Each structure stands twice: as structure tokens, then as C-alpha cells.
Amino acid sequence: MARINSNIPSLIARTNLGRANQDLEVRLQRLATGLRINRGADNPAGLIISERLRSEVSGLNQAVNNSQRASSVIATTEGALAEISDLLNSVRGLVVEAANTGAISVEERKANQLQIDSAIDTITRISNSASFGGLKLLNGSLDYVLSGLDSDSVNKATIFGANFNGRSQIQVDVNVIASAQTASLFLSASNIGGTVAAGRFASNSTLEIAGPLGVQVLDILSGQTLTAVAQAINTFTAATGISASLLNPANPASGMRFSSTTFGSNAFASVRRLNEPTGGGFFRTFAITSNGAVPGTPSFGDPAFVAQLSSANRDAGRDVNAIVNGALANGNGLTLSLQNQTALSLELELDQQFATANGSISTFYITGGGALYQLGGVINASQQTNIGVQSMAASRLGGTLLDDQLQFLSSLRSGGGNDLNSLEFQNASAILDTSIDEVSTLRGRLGAFERNTLETNVRSLSTAIENLTASESRIRDADFAEETSRLTRSQILSSASTSVLGLANQQAQQVLQLLG
């Protein structure tokens, strides 16, 4: 080559040297940072995907922290509830002791009442003071706020969980499709089946009266009226759970009805004559076929009513059935429960008149409240859960319908309607049973939420984080074995290109030999 203005071999060598040095810089940068993608130019598509994966991993890491913090909150709440449960159990023991009036003095009962007052005050104090990082746990601030609740339809509403899903309020519609019933048996006084004549028993009889609370045996003399028999049975109502009444109070020969005092499938009424003579037929009771509804004024003079009857000495009640927001709720006596963790979970104690009328409709609204937990890495309703924590104050705990009025744990304090001096031990025991059930149920729901939701959520999220991190690593992290081998290649090429460039530059000097 005899041209000196353009040294093409030098240009070629310099270009290749630049490429070798650029590749060497890339290898050094990747080895220094440990990343295969350090800027968008390295791999635009890979950068986009890896950044999305990084964002998702960051959200999931925080979701794990959220779940672990929620577990700590629940553990703190459960600890306070355990103390309340112990106090309620001690109060129950004091009430049972005070009910033993034949062996306990008035002074001892007063001492028991002082302990009960102290325990109830402590329960309210725990309810007001239990907190986690300034968040009140048991004072009702984490309970749901209700609006439009009609006490003539729903005596008590407990919302366990509600998903608002962007709504400002949740409308709750309750539609009774099958009324609640007590257990009912009917005794004819018009000689149907040869049962009773003219409203009087025809011979000496021994009746066994059995109900949900117990069994009693009653001896009836020949000629005794149904009115007197009903009065005798009602003296044992507290022991059997069965009451008796004439179908027509003005007519002793109208017949008798035996009814359980409670509603639902757990309630039953059993009436039978003991030592029935061979052939029987003297004493027969009847139940409505297929557990149908009892008419408002049952009468053996009504052929339509008689047509519904079948001979039976035992009958069971019926639970209320209702549709709540389009879903069939579970009935238990007058109580409805709906368990739908993704939408709405609640328990409603219905008013007796409302629950015993087919087609009854009531509507109320959940306007806010509840404890919201963000369990996923993306903020949307499917990755959130909402749970209600009711107030444990004595004025809110143990709501029990007694004498057509809701009465709470606070009524057991001195001066209350159910304190020990009132001698209403049975009412006090019922309120305590409800209180203990409410605390135990809340502890159980929180425990199930922690075990089945939070702990499983942490495990599943941890697995997802591992897999996403591995995916992001495959895209973005540098393979040191590969990079070091390429670094060696780049170093050799850079050295070779430098040597070649030097030779190319020296080649032009050979032209001087032509000039002599």
C-alpha cells in the first residue's frame, strides 16, 4: 500500500479496538455490579419485565410484613380476650354460688356482688385500654357501623366481616321465607280418638312431660279439668321448657296445646301417658303434619286444621329460614347466620313476630367500620379482608332477650336488674352464657383468621417471592462464569487490536523507502 493520506488498515484496527474496549467495559461493569442489565440499552425488553417483577416482589414483601403485623395485633387482642374470659368464668362461679340461697348468708351474697362489680368494671377497663401501637382493639372502634336497623325486626345484629369493594355502604336485605316455629302438640277435648270428654280427664292418668330443659311426671286424677292440668304443667315450665294452654281460654272443652318455650329444631315437646292400658286409645296427642305452621287460632272445630293433624306424642320446632342479600342464611331458632368471607358474614337475632311471619322483609345498612387488612401486593378488594371486632364493654357484652328486652352484662352490677340482690339468678346465668359465647366466638374467629388466613398467606407469599425473585434473577443477574470467560476474550481482543493498530500505523512509514 503506497497511500499515506488514508490508512485503511489503521481505521479497521481502530474500529475493532473500540469494539473490543466497549465489550471489555460491559464485562467489567457486569462483574462489578453483578447485573447483566444495568441500563435500558443492555436489554430493553428484559429491563421492562425485570422492573415489573421487582415491583411485584416489593409489594409482596410488604404484604408479608402486613400479615405478620396483623398476627401481632390479633395476638394482642386475643390476650385481652383471654383475661375477659377468665373474669366471666369467675363471675359465673359467684352467681352459681349465690343461687345456693339455702346455704349462703346475705352477707356472703353481698361479698359476691362486690367481686362481681369489680370483675365487670375490670372487663370494661380492659375493653377501653387494650391497644396496639395506639390502635384501640376492643372498645368498638373496629366494629361495623349500622344504620336503619329496625328493632321491631332485628333485636341484635353482629357483623363479622363485610367487603365494601369501593362502595360507601352495604345494603342488607332480610326476607323470611319460612317462619320459625315452636314444637307444638294438641290434645282434643271433643272425643277425637276417645281422648277427653267435656274438657275433663276420664280416668286417673300419669303424664310424662319432656322438653328441651328436662322431664317431669305429672299425676292427674279422674275428672280433673284441662284448665287445672294446664296450670299444673306450667308450674314445671322452668324445668321442662314446655308450657300448656287451652285452645280457647273461655272454653275448657276446646282442647289443649303443649308448646316449647323456645323456637327451632333443637326445641321439642313430648307428652305421653305412662302405663297406657292394653288397647290404648284413651290419651292421644296430635302434631301438624310435616312440621307445618300453626294457624293463628287452632281449633278442633275447624276441618281444615283437623285435616293437617296426625297422631304423635312428640314434635320438634322449626328454625327460621331467610334470604339475606340473595343468599340462603342458616337458621337456628330465631337466629340467622350468613358466612361468606368474600362478601358478608353476620349473625342476626330476629324479633319473634318478625321471624314467625312468612314473607317478612327488613332492610338496614352497613355504613363503615371494621378492621381492613391488606394481605396482597396489589391494592384491590380480592387481596383485602375485613373483619369486625365488637366492643367488649359490659354495656355491650352479653345481649340476651329477657322479658322482651335486651339485657347486658352491666345489668349484673349492683343496682342492676339482674344483680344478686334481685335473685334473678337464671337471667344472670343466661346473660353470662351469652357473654362467654360471644368472647369465645370472637377468640375463635380471630384464631381461625390468624391460622387459616394470615399464616397461610405468609407461606404462599413467601413461595411467590422466591419464584418471582428467581425469575427476576434469571433475567437481570450476571452469570459470573460466562462474564469472566467473555472478559478474558475481550482482554485478548483489546490487546490484539492495540498491537494490530500499532503495526498498521508503522506500515505507512514504509513509503519513505521509495524516496531514496
User: Which string of DSSP letters, residue by residue, matches 239-269?
Assistant: HHSEEEEESSTT-GGG-EEEEEEEESTT-EE
Rounded mean pLDDT, 91-101? 94
Band the pLDDT of 142: cuts 50, 70, 90.
Answer: very high
- List, in order, residues 6 or more apart from 243 with CB less than 8 Å away: 233, 234, 237, 258, 259, 260, 261
User: What residue spans in the chain does CATH classification 1.20.1330.10 cover?
Assistant: 75-143+387-476
pLDDT at 191: 45
Q: How far apart are CA 478 and CA 82, in angstroms?
A: 54
Confidence of residue 195 (pLDDT cuts 50, 70, 90): very low
d(CA 337, CA 319): 12
**Does domain 182-316 correspond to CATH entry 3.30.70?**
yes
pLDDT of residue 190: 56
- For residues 351 and 401, give the distance between their C-alpha atoms in angstroms, rounded to a whole number: 9
Question: pLDDT category, 198, cuts 50, 70, 90?
Answer: low
More confident residue, 454 or 299: 454
What order of strands is seen across the sheet that includes strand 214-220? 214-220, 205-211, 268-273, 314-316
Residue intervals of the chain classified under CATH 3.30.70 are: 182-316
pLDDT band with cut points at 50, 70 and 90 for residue 194: very low
**Which of 42-51, 96-105, 302-311, 496-505 is predicted least confidently?**
496-505
The arrangement of secondary structure in 75-143+387-476, i.e. its CATH architecture, is Up-down Bundle (1.20)
Q: Is the four-CA dihedral 461, 462, 467, 470 of positive or negative sign? A: positive
The whole-angstrom separation of Cα 452 and Cα 105 is 50
C-alpha cell at 501: 493498530
Q: Are 226 and 255 in contact (CB under 8 A)?
A: yes
Specify the pairing of strand 135-136 against strand 131-132: antiparallel
Q: Is the pLDDT of residue 514 over 50?
A: yes
Cross-strand partners of 323: 175, 328
Give CA separation, 49 vs 42, 114, 389, in Å. 13, 69, 41
Of residues 296 and 468, the one with the higher pLDDT is: 468
Question: What integer is the mean pLDDT of 467-491?
Answer: 86
Of 20-29, 277-286, 352-361, 455-464, least confident by mean pLDDT is 277-286
pTM for the structure as a whole: 0.81
> What pLDDT is stored for residue 485 in this prediction?
84
User: What does the alpha-carbon distance between residue 231 and residue 19 come to, in Å, rounded to a whole number?
Assistant: 111
Mean pLDDT, residues 82-93 taken together: 96
Helix (H, G, I), strand (E, B), or coil: what is residue 291? helix
